[in-house]
């Protein structure tokens, strides 16, 4: 989430753990609610997760967006999302998650059930929304897939170790070939391992800026594995939408 401190003054975000049966696939449920006098636009730099999102207007499966995700909030509203683990949506989809990348698909097309958003959007509170979403998903629970846990661990390696700045380094750490990683990530995550590595570096850079205090951008660029600060600045600007220095001033 970009400029998170401002966003938190405009809406409320709550996360809820999934039930044990869903936990192998689902990271958490999230609920965003707002009551605004004026419209507000929030931008998010997505992680490599599929989300199933229910609002009063629709219910959509969101594949991994490749660019910034923008949502305009107006008046009053509430939205519930189910955030799947990286790789966790593959058993539900029954096909390559890369086929969903940068796309949205109606939940009705995915599940073959119409008007799925209505009981969730009409629920009286957050917990009732989560219960309604789980009531929709639990009867359709797929068999556990051991590859999901493997993919989660691979993505976890990237998130836990900033020195894994290239796919060949991830290959060495995991014992898999570069080609095997690429096939596995496209099948289960929806994006390649290089994309996940680059995106994590951008999340880390934005988090450093959001934390407050001075940032040594040249040192951070080197820490994140960039050949020079200019390369880092170009990628940050392309991903975040503004230069590192300007983003730091804005936050």
Q: Where are the alpha helices (DSSP H) in the chain?
A: 4-8, 90-93, 107-111, 117-121, 126-137, 146-160, 167-174, 178-188, 193-210, 217-223, 229-240, 244-250
Q: Please calculate the CA angle 187-69-246 and round it to the nearest 5 degrees.
A: 125
Q: Over the stretch 138-153, which tens digit does the pLDDT of each residue have?
A: 999 999 899 999 999 9
Q: Specify the pLDDT at position 49.
A: 98
- The Cβ-side half-sphere exposure at 4, using a 13 Å CA radius, reads 11
What token pair was written down for 249?
A: 């001033």
Q: Specify the pLDDT at position 251.
A: 66
Residue 150, Cβ neighbours under 10 Å: how many? 15
Residue ranges of the domains in the chain? 4-140, 146-250
What kind of fold does domain 146-250 have according to CATH? Arc Repressor Mutant, subunit A (1.10.10)
Q: 2-6, 22-26, 120-124, 139-143: which range is least confident on average?
A: 2-6
Beta bridge pairs of residue 61: 52, 105
* Prediction pTM value: 0.92
DSSP state of 68: -
């Amino acid at each position: 989430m970009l400029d998170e401190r401002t966003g938190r003054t405009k809406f409320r975000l709550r996360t809820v753990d999934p039930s044990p049966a869903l936990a192998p696939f689902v990271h958490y449920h999230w609920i965003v609610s707002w009551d605004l006098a004026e419209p507000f636009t929030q931008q998010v730099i997505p992680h490599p997760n599929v989300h199933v999102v229910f609002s009063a207007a629709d219910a959509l499966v969101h594949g991994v967006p490749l660019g910034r995700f923008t949502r305009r909030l107006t008046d009053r509203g509430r939205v519930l999302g189910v955030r799947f683990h990286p790789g966790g949506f593959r058993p539900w989809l029954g096909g390559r998650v890369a086929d969903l990348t940068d796309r949205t698909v109606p939940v009705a097309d995915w599940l073959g059930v119409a008007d799925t958003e209505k009981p969730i959007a009409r629920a009286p509170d957050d917990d009732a929304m989560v219960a309604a979403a789980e009531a929709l998903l639990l009867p359709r629970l797929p068999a556990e897939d051991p590859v999901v846990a493997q993919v989660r661990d691979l993505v976890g390696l990237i998130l836990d170790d900033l020195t894994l700045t290239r796919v060949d380094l991830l290959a060495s750490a995991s014992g898999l070939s570069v080609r095997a990683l690429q096939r596995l990530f496209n099948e289960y995550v929806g994006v390649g391992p290089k994309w996940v590595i680059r995106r994590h570096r951008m999340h880390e850079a934005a988090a450093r800026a959001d934390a407050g205090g001075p940032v040594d951008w040249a040192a951070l660029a080197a820490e994140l594995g960039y050949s020079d600060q200019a390369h880092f600045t170009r990628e940050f600007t392309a991903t975040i939408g503004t230069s590192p220095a300007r983003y730091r001033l804005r936050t």
